[in-house]
Structure 1
Amino acid sequence: MREITNYTAAIPALGVGIGYRSELREGIFSNRDRIDFLEIITENYLSHPDAYRSLEELCDHFPVIPHGVDLSIGSMMQLETPYLKAIKRISDVTKAPYYSEHLCMTKTPGRYIGHLAPLWFSEELLQHVIRRVQMLQDYLEKPLILENVTYMLEIPSSPMSQTEFFQRLVEATDCGILLDVTNVFINAANHAFDARQFVAHMPLSHLVQVHLAGGYQRGGWYVDGHSELVPPNIFSLFEYLVSLCQVKSVIFEHDAHFPPITDLLQQMDQARAIVRRQQRNDMPNECVSS
């Protein structure tokens, strides 16, 4: 494989932050000195004027990264112009250095799926997603950062692995990677593959951001609930990632069963300490992908 030109290396490190949720608002604003940046769900701010004003207030106090959930970049249907204009407006207001989304589908012609569905990793779909990423990066005037998702059903007989799909997508578009470490751990547990091997085979030279969250087990399956604190085994996988490459930015996601803000801050401090400890070991500036 030819060497990947790495324009995402210029994206600044933001530190360790948290996904903004209204339930956490008081704790977030009371601890601004311990939270480096926020991530917001783009779709929460697209229509209502009060929500838009709330976003402007967040931007007055924190660096803010917009994180989309409904782009459906893997769908074959045409992207809707009003939606693109709306997410660009949010992207511009935040002045974020990048825009993040999921490598998945959320809709098909005439049907909304209702969750982040996995893709069939084929050559045809890869070329389709490459064209979309190139168009979106030109339209948004900033890099697009794509996240790996969890899945209950792995689409069989994919012509290529997910890591190869990410590698080739990055090589063709110079987009970035949002590596959800929790999603890797959950998929590995549910589908019996090596989580560390998956991490090592991702295009880590283009790693821009990391997600950490806690889930739960139900009926023998791990579920990405964003409802619990991050457990030690996921922190261990995160520490392995940090041993492989420079980790610039980390977001903790929590969407239900909200704990005291002190517990979340403690976990953020733990992640920050892991990153700083590795930085003291004089890691090179760029990651090495397998």
Structure 2
Amino acid sequence: MRDAVTGFGLGLRPTHYAALSEHAATMARRVDWLEIISENYMGVGGKPRRHLLELRRHYPMVMHGVSLSIGSTAPLERDYLRALKSLADEIEPAWISDHLCWTGIAGRNMHDLLPLPFTEEALDHVVGRVMAVQEHLGAPILLENTSSYVTYPESAMPEWEFIVALAKRTGCALLLDVNNVYVNSVNHGFNPLTFIDALPKTLVRQIHLAGHEDHGTHIIDTHDHDVAPPVWQLYAAAVRRFGSVPAMIERDDHIPPLSALLAELDQARAVAADAVRQVLVA
């Protein structure tokens, strides 16, 4: 049975397996749910699988992938989709997500989330692939807006317009990465609130919060720092627009003790609560 996902979660990382499991009774009051990286557990047994199944007994989960390559021109990888569905059937996540990107060419995975050109041709192409994936999985998916460092001269619409059109045509939802919106706004010179305000209020099903490296002239999305003040401010704006959407902290490098992430998660709760109060009194 799929558990409902609400409130505030963390990305599951091996360094925190023990603490999350051993203190599940008390930890579940501070961590409402966990997001797993799908590929870390697809077709994997041994200790990782045992930890996953043990933690699933205590926490609702969602699955988040990095290899679907929904924007690629290569055929969809059916073996990958079968393994993805098999894992989903086992742990029953609230939903499955991946990134609005492509990850390689000519059979080579570049292990990066590469941006799409925002054209009608690309939109038509991705629509067909999303529909095929959703048919295979038997449920709508969530796609995440990615950070980017280049743009295409062929792009005929802004990123947010592309996302809205894709969702309307496929029924998929958005995993809104607030940090990525901020990163792109600096790198490409737009107002991040324009992105937020352009999205329908019902489109966003989940929110990611993460850190980045600010190099002055550009920002790199690294997931190895605390959430930065301007990202917290943008998150507050997102809550004012979309309401209390499930949100989580992502940390993939320089991973701190769980206590530090819990403190950051408490900060997310406080920011969201304040934003909701602002809406109520407006």
The equivalent position to 1:209 in structure 2, one of 206, 215, 226, is 206
The equivalent position to 1:160 in structure 2, one of 150, 157, 161, is 157
Per mean C-alpha deviation after superposition, the further-off stretch among 16-25 and 267-276 is: 267-276
Partner of 1:22: 14
TM norm structure 1: 0.88
Task: Write out aligned runs for 1:98-177 (5 A).
Answer: 98-177=95-174
The verdict on how the C-alpha distance between 1:236 and 1:280 changes in structure 2, with shifts beyond 3 A counting, is closer
Partner of 2:30: 34
Partner of 1:7: none
For structure 2, list consecutive stretches of 5 or more residues without a partner in the other structure.
none
Q: Percent identity?
A: 38
TM norm structure 2: 0.90
Is the aligned partner of 1:230 residue 2:231? no
Per mean C-alpha deviation after superposition, the further-off stretch among 213-222 and 252-261 is: 213-222
Aligned partners of 2:55 and 2:104: how far apart in 1? 30
**How far apart are residue 12 of structure 1 and its match?**
4.9
- Does the 8 Å CA contact 2:20/2:55 hold for their aligned counterparts? no
Per mean C-alpha deviation after superposition, the further-off stretch among 194-203 and 169-178 is: 194-203
Is the aligned partner of 1:73 residue 2:70? yes
Per mean C-alpha deviation after superposition, the further-off stretch among 79-88 and 214-223 is: 214-223
Structure 1 letter corresponding to 2:31: I
Q: Deviations over 1:218-262 (max 9, x none)?
A: 474211111111121110000011111223211110111122322
Aligned partners of 2:55 and 2:217: how far apart in 1? 40
The alignment of Structure 1 onto Structure 2 pairs a total of residues equal to 273
**How far apart are residue 13 of structure 1 and its match?**
4.7
Per mean C-alpha deviation after superposition, the further-off stretch among 199-208 and 229-238 is: 199-208
Structure 1 letter corresponding to 2:187: N
Is the aligned partner of 1:253 residue 2:245? no
The verdict on how the C-alpha distance between 1:53 and 1:25 changes in structure 2, with shifts beyond 3 A counting, is closer
For structure 1, list consecutive stretches of 5 or more residues without a partner in the other structure.
1-10, 284-290
**How far apart are residue 188 of structure 1 and its match?**
0.9
Structure 2 letter corresponding to 1:145: L
CA RMSD after TM alignment: 1.9
Structure with the greater relative contact order (CA < 8 A, sep ≥ 6): 1 or 2?
Answer: 1
Aligned partners of 1:33 and 1:109: how far apart in 2? 47
**How far apart are residue 280 of structure 1 and its match?**
4.9
Aligned partners of 1:77 and 1:205: how far apart in 2? 31
Aligned partners of 1:85 and 1:54: how far apart in 2? 22
The verdict on how the C-alpha distance between 1:167 and 1:59 changes in structure 2, with shifts beyond 3 A counting, is same
The verdict on how the C-alpha distance between 1:245 and 1:219 changes in structure 2, with shifts beyond 3 A counting, is closer
Aligned partners of 2:188 and 2:250: how far apart in 1? 23
